[in-house]
Amino acid sequence: MANRLKRDLDASYMEELIMRTPNVTEIPGLAFPASAQQRREVFWRLSPTERIALMRAGELTLKECCQWAARAPHEVPIVDGEFEFIAAFTPEAREQ
């Protein structure tokens, strides 16, 4: 019973995260709906500090975070040995 409750809670938590998908048309420097290419171009013109702020505000998609980590891993904050955007969803982070 406890395992089922935990699984249900995890599923409901994941549904909540999915429902909070960031508005992918808003990124600093773009005052209009952006295509994926326009977002990418603006994203790479941002400073690392600006990218970190957007990530922490939930304004980046998972795909953007992964592309960032692949292209500039030294810029992405690390938490407990994992990229922050991944570590934020671990059970340890949820307990804090």
67-83 pLDDT, tens per residue? Answer: 999 999 999 999 989 99
Confidence of residue 19 (pLDDT cuts 50, 70, 90): very low
Please give the structure tokens belonging to residue 92. Answer: 């340890």
Record the pTM: 0.63
Structural domain boundaries of the chain? 35-96
Question: Residue 62 is which amino acid?
Answer: L
Please give the structure tokens belonging to residue 86. Answer: 């991944």
| Alpha-carbon span 3 to 74, nearest angstrom | 38
Phi, psi of 82 (to 5 degrees): -130, 155
Question: Is the C-alpha dihedral spanning 20, 63, 93, 77 positive or negative?
Answer: negative
